[in-house]
A and B are shown apart, each in its own frame.
Chain A
């Protein structure tokens, strides 16, 4: 069984990069283009990891993290938020909402993999 990751970002470039990197790591990548879409897809099956952008239309990443953590099947799922280095507030807000950690944009594949390995079995 390969692991499943829900990759949430309104930027196709970012989704592509995350998907490309994690597919090489053996993940099945399910993509969503904002928080609402991610919530819609949160029901279909268990996820081993969620990676979400913060700034997105309809529902932002921080709200998404909070909503996912309310769902019992996401209680122990690592959730990473994609943020920029300057966004110290976002990191704190993300963590308060229940995010496991963050990935700083821009990232290269190795950095992403390193972070994922730190939070994902």
Chain B
């Protein structure tokens, strides 16, 4: 199937607009000269429909719109004047065009010959000028040779002025046949006399094994007339006439193609998804949606403010007002969800580019690779989709280049010849998880560690867990490839991938089993705009904890808490030991004047990896939906802080980054052991800049 099939829907929506525009203008036509802009509109509408129809191979539509367009072109250029009855004919011709578009859209062909009569009338109208649009045809290909040619090529100044590049043309010749090149530098003047815009060089290129002369001429199509170009067969061996005719011309004009196939039913592809084509939708400029999202964001804040200031009214006399307010809260939320849903798009558009990346790359790397896609229907905010393209491409390249073994190595390791790269997406806990996995060699912890030590990222003899070692590949300046390859080693490492994902409020992690493969997991927010949060108070400061991370809250008895010898403390809940993070000290707050509560209040949260930690806070203030504002765009990123939010009281509060905080704690404890303080930037989740 053609990769462009996915744009069919857009095409039909566009057709609708174009046909509407066409009709609006067509009905105002009159005999004699008309408004040139209107005539341009008519022509362009039909022209655009033709171009799209060609892309999707709606042959009847192509043939019809081609003829129609020709006549309209004659009219708009003044070569054909409208006579009585012609305006009416154009309106009717537009109706037939509409029928053909509808037929293509529904996949149910209109009956044969539906447009035949109109087509005749249009042709007749065009032929009145004597300059009827004859389909442009090119000469059939000349008799073939044995495929060996010599090309003499000398660019003129004009060729450089249109930004054509001889080197690229010669490169393109490589696709035509095997080439050997001889450059002639004899006309090159002294440096002082050299005019950079002038063409001094010329080349003699031997092309062997070319299909025909046209294939070579096609490469130089754009510079025809702007260079001296001679293409000669090296040993011409003319073929029999009959043989030459059998060969299809390498370039068929649309006119030829369409006329030849106009009586055949549309290609199967055209009928592939009639149901999908009928989905009702309209196109809306993205800016409008963004404004809507912004406005709803402000509404949420305003509603929260109203709730905040009226929440003291817990009086029976105000029960109606409170009910109304509750209702408003619910509606606001529904409205917000509805608006956010507009920005959501399936990941299919993004995923669909990877089969090609994999195909091209497997050729280049000479590896046998199959790409498996899963969860393409998963919907994500448009902005996130756009930003994911580069990181995902890089990760897939990485998997194929470094992860997967060569065919020989795979066979030796007892694996199937074909390696598998899997790209999957799913929604989980209000986040989206995208995984890129391969069944290749996996990360060798010893090698990774040795490399990190060699690059000075970790001190010699550091005692790191497997997870910590694997995380090293995300450090700036780390590259597992022994030599920088042109596939994935473009000076962009996994650290850049990580940074890009972090900018989106997401995280990237790797799990790997040596010899069996690796899985990279991207965890991203569904949207960048709103968050359900729990407002907490710590030493008189208020913070927002993302609700999706909260497992439970526990008011701890002193007996449940134990201090650890190396600092920090843990809490025992139902037999499970959970590390406590003291927000007060972690965020470097001071409790001036305010005493610590007698019993510790812990909000148990779960990190991305399913690890649980307890955040020690003073008070829980309640749940609230907040509109996220980026900290980075207005300030700079801070470890442990995911972003900011404007709350009902109109004040800006910080949203806690649970993973960041949990990892910060780890790094402090590691650093306190004095072994790997250089690891700070990587495990703290901070942006290393």
Say if A and B assemble together: yes
Query: CB-defined interface of A78-108 with B at 8 Å, one 1/0 digit per residue?
Result: 1100101110100000010011111001111
* B222: chain A residues within 8 A (beta carbon): 95, 100-102, 118-119
| Chain A residues closer than 8 Å to B221, beta-carbon distance | 101
Contact present for A119 and B161 (CB under 8 Å): no
Contact of A55 with B47 at beta-carbon distance under 8 Å, contacts A85-B254, A86-B254 already known: yes
Nearest A residue to B70 by beta-carbon distance? A86
Residues 13 to 34 of chain A near chain B (Cβ within 8 Å)? 13-14, 16-17, 20-21, 23-24, 26
Chain B residue at smallest Cβ distance from A75: B163
A12 close to B253 (CB less than 8 A): no
Are B253 and A95 in contact, CB atoms less than 8 angstroms apart? Answer: no
Give CA–CA (A57, B356) in the complex, Å: 35
What distance in Å separates the Cβ of B603 from its nearest Cβ neighbour in chain A? 42
Alpha-carbon separation in the docked complex, A17 to B253 (Å): 21
Given contacts A24-B357, A108-B4, A118-B222, contact A13 B162 (CB under 8 A): no
Q: Are A23 and B283 in contact (CB under 8 A)?
A: no
Decide yes or no whether A2 CB sits under 8 A from chain B: yes
Taking A24-B353, A79-B163, A88-B136 as contacts, is the C-beta distance between A13 and B7 under 8 angstroms? yes
- Shortest CB-to-CB span from A3 to chain B, Å, is 13
Interface status of B489 (Cβ within 8 A of chain A): no
Q: Tell me the B32-54 residues at the A interface (CB within 8 Å).
A: 40-41, 43-44, 47-48, 50-54
CB distance from B559 to the nearest CB of A (A): 59
CA of A95 to CA of B227 in the docked complex: distance in angstroms? 14
Residues of B within 8 A of A10 (CB): 44, 48
Whether the pair A20, B7 counts as a contact (CB closer than 8 A) is: yes
Q: Given A23-B389, A55-B43, do A86 and B255 touch, yes or no (CB 8 Å)?
A: yes
Bound form: Cα–Cα A24–B389 in Å: 9
Residues on A with beta carbons closer than 8 Å to the beta carbon of B161: 98
In the complex formed, the residue of A with least CB distance to B349 is A20
The distance in angstroms between the C-alpha atoms of A37 and B580, with both chains bound, is 56
A86 touches which one: B40, B171, B253, B390 (CB < 8 A)? Answer: B253
Please name the residue on chain A nearest to B17 by beta carbon.
Answer: A12
- In the bound complex, residues from chain B placing their C-beta under 8 Å from that of A117 are 168, 171-172
Contacts of B393 in A (CB 8 A): 26
Contact A20 B3 (CB under 8 A): yes
Complex interface: chain A residues within 8 A of B7 (CB):
13, 16-17, 20
The tally of residues in A whose CB lies under 8 Å from a CB in B reads 43
**Inter-chain contacts of B111 with A (CB < 8 A):** none
Q: Beta-carbon contacts of B1-31 to A below 8 Å, as 1s and 0s?
A: 0111011001101100000000000000000
Q: Are B55 and A17 in contact (CB under 8 A)?
A: yes
Contact A119–B165 (Cβ < 8 Å): yes
Task: Assess the B163–A105 pair: CB atoms within 8 A.
Answer: no
- Interface residue B135 (Cβ < 8 Å from any Cβ of A): yes
Q: Please give the distance in Å from B165's CB to the nearest CB on chain A.
A: 7
Q: How far is the CA of A55 from the CA of B136 in the complex (A)?
A: 19
Asked if B164 lies at the interface with its beta carbon under 8 angstroms from chain A, I say: yes
A84 CA / B253 CA spacing, docked (Å): 9
A98 and chain B: residue at smallest CB distance: B162
Residue in A closest to B257 when the chains form the complex, CB atoms: A85
Within 45-83 of A, Cβ neighbours of B (below 8 Å) are at: 55-57, 75-79, 82
Interface membership of B259, Cβ < 8 A: no
B-side contacts of A109, CB under 8 Å = 3-4
Known: A24-B356, A86-B133. A100 touches B162 (CB 8 A): yes
Check: B169 CB closer than 8 A to any chain A CB: yes
Tell me whether A11 and B54 are in contact (CB under 8 A).
no
A78 → B minimal CB distance (Å): 5
Tell me, in angstroms, the Cα distance from A56 to B357 when the chains sit together.
33
> Within 8 Å CB of A2, what residues of B?
390
Query: Which residues of B are found within 8 Å of A11, using beta-carbon distances?
Result: 14, 48, 51-52
A79: B residues at CB distance < 8 A = 162-163
Q: Which among A24, A77, A88 has the greatest number of chain B C-beta atoms within 10 A?
A: A24
11 pairs of residues in contact across A and B, judged by CB atoms under 8 Å: A2-B390, A21-B3, A55-B47, A86-B66, A88-B136, A95-B162, A98-B161, A108-B55, A118-B168, A118-B169, A118-B219
The 6 closest A-B pairs by CB, nearest first: A106-B54, A101-B222, A106-B55, A24-B353, A13-B11, A105-B51
Write the residues of chain B forming the contact surface with A, with a CB cutoff of 8 angstroms: 2-4, 6-7, 10-11, 13-14, 40-41, 43-44, 47-48, 50-55, 66, 133, 135-136, 161-165, 168-169, 171-172, 175, 219, 221-222, 225, 253-255, 283, 349, 353, 356-357, 389-390, 393
18 A-B pairs besides A57-B41, A98-B161, A106-B53 with CB distance below 8 A are A10-B48, A12-B13, A13-B48, A20-B6, A20-B349, A23-B389, A26-B393, A75-B163, A84-B254, A85-B253, A86-B66, A99-B162, A102-B222, A106-B55, A106-B254, A108-B55, A114-B172, A119-B168
